[in-house]
């Protein structure tokens, strides 16, 4: 059994003269990410590995989560402006020693991908997190494996 956790980057800012890729987190986003990462860690959400979009707002969200988790982070360009196939491609590249992985990415791609693997239709708010149980022993079996939503956390609704 594998676990796939999808995290939409926290609330970002868009200062003038800033390219989309370089947008920083807003103060609210910094707070959201700290709150969500502590909530997940305190609720024993185990994660072995983080893969982030290299865009500043996603990578900074990932780095804030890593203040709670202290695990390896890699970036993958495929998680920036992603299609559903991009997510699958990153999944197929995972080492089978990784049992639980979190991807830090962007809308609309992250919502579209989550909805493509789940009957539960939802739209990710900033710093929203969805966890899926994937009934497989190898990430190469992802496509045909049974997938089940095990949690969905909205930062505005957690204590």
The pLDDT profile of the chain, 159 residues, written as one tens digit per residue, is 999 999 999 999 999 999 999 999 999 999 999 999 999 999 999 999 999 999 999 999 999 999 999 999 999 999 999 999 999 999 999 999 999 999 999 999 999 999 999 988 778 999 999 999 999 999 999 999 999 999 999 999 997
Q: Among 62, 75, 70, 63, which Cα is nearest to 46's?
A: 70
Residue labelled with tokens 């796939």: 4
* Alpha carbons 129 and 96: distance in angstroms, whole number: 23
Q: Cα(134)–Cα(106) distance, rounded to whole angstroms?
A: 21
Q: What per-residue confidence (pLDDT) applies to 123?
A: 87
pLDDT of res. 83: 92
Query: pTM for this one?
Result: 0.97
CA angle 60, 11, 113 (to 5 degrees): 85
pLDDT for position 67: 97
């Amino acid at each position: 059994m594998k676990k796939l956790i999808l995290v939409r980057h926290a609330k970002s800012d868009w200062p003038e003269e800033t390219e989309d890729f370089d947008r920083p987190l807003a103060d609210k986003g910094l707070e959201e990410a700290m709150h969500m990462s502590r909530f997940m860690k305190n609720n024993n959400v185990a994660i072995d590995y983080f893969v982030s979009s290299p865009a500043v707002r996603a990578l900074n969200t990932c780095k804030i989560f890593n203040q709670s988790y202290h695990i390896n982070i890699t970036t993958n360009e495929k998680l920036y402006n992603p299609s559903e196939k991009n997510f699958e491609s990153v999944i197929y590249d995972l080492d089978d020693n990784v049992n639980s992985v979190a991807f830090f990415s962007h809308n609309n791609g992250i919502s579209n991908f989550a909805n493509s693997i789940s009957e539960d239709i939802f739209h990710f708010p900033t710093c929203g997190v969805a966890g899926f149980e994937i009934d497989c022993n190898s990430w190469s079996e992802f496509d045909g494996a049974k997938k089940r939503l095990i949690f969905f956390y909205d930062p505005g609704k957690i204590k």
